[in-house]
Amino acid sequence: MTETHSNKSFIGMIIIAVLMFIISIGAVGYSLLYPTADTLYKEGKIFGLPYKSDQETVAVKITYFDPDYMATVTRSNTKLYFIQFSRPKTIMNTNPFGYASIEIKDGDPLLDKLKSAPDLSQNPMIVAATIRKSGAKGAIQDYHYKFSNLVDRDEDIKPYAETLYYVSVDEYDKSRLVGYPIALMTILIGLYFLYGAFSLRKKEEKAYNELYDSYPELNHSMDTVLGNATYVDQALGIILYKNHLIIPKGELRVYDLRKAKQMYHRILNHKSYGITTGSFSQLIILTNDKTYRKKKTSFPINNVGKETDDLLQPFFYTVSQEFPDILLGVTNKKQRPF
């Protein structure tokens, strides 16, 4: 037996952590580089063009804003406001202005800016928004009907009103800011795997050091462990070396059995639709020495099927001979000593 570390697990967790950090950087970049109102306007993506599509991101050049809201959208805690907007100059033979509704969330600083603007007709304000079509998924379902009824009262506004589409600053902000929660989540996941990787390495180093400190004759090498072991079961992945139980499966785990009070085998069955699809075995060790380990420690061992428990009996017999003070098995199945 040679000293090995769980390099695959360690490297795997490091790779996952790095990938999460890369995703987080990309998510932040997505939000930071999201098109602004000025960028959209310069690119000609302006609300008022004859061809529109639902959820399109556009710039809206507002030339009039009614500070009194028309309606409340309860599902999103937003309000609809009446606006006059300037159409792109590329459109010929039409009124240069149009009328529509803009959806803004309560508390949005944009509201104060629009309400306090001295004269939007002379100094229009360009804002970024998302076009929404009446009745589309996630949009206001009866917007067309209600806004049409409103503008029908004014013959000067009616011919130039956008009754089928409205613009939403709230949805634009949601799309623009979505990168930040994604970045936060992926950073936390990355930190979790990074911590797990170095925690795994630290636990293994601690296990090896416990063996080397307890048995100086090993001379910081595991080469002689199998040859001098009291008990070895390669099939189950169990080694008993003098006073220590050694479980090499996955990360190296060790336990000084002089500290143990009780030991038993636990089988965990994984079921799907009532059918057992897999079984996992653990050696459970209990101790009263809280300075050494917590009360209950579990060690995963290889499960080789129904005969796993039978194959463990020689090991339990060896433990009973070497450590007669250890209680083997569960004394009361209805009330396990956890």
The Cα–Cα gap between 233 and 238 comes to 5
What lies within 8 Å, CB to CB, of 169 at 6+ separation is 102, 103, 104, 105, 108, 110, 127, 128, 129, 130
Residue 56 is predicted with a pLDDT of 95
**C-beta separation of 128 from 172 below 8 A:** yes
Range among 109-113, 153-157, 226-230, 269-273 rated most confident: 109-113
- pLDDT tens readout for residues 53-100: 999 999 999 999 999 999 999 888 899 999 999 988 765 546 789 999
Q: Kindly report the pTM of this predicted structure.
A: 0.71
- pLDDT tens readout for residues 131-160: 999 999 999 999 999 999 989 888 889 999
pLDDT at 232 over 60: yes
Residue 224 is predicted with a pLDDT of 86
- Band (pLDDT 50/70/90 cuts) for residue 283 is very high
Cα four-point dihedral sign 19, 20, 22, 26: positive
Query: What DSSP designation does 158 have?
Result: G
Q: How far is CA 94 from its chain centroid?
A: 50
The Cα–Cα gap between 327 and 324 comes to 8
CATH of range 224-328; options 2.30.29, 2.40.160, 1.10.3470, 2.60.120: 2.30.29
* Section 235-245 average pLDDT: 93
Q: How far is CA 149 from CA 140, 142, 157, in A?
A: 15, 11, 12
Task: Report which of 247, 258, 252 is spatially closest to residue 319, judged by C-alpha positions.
Answer: 258
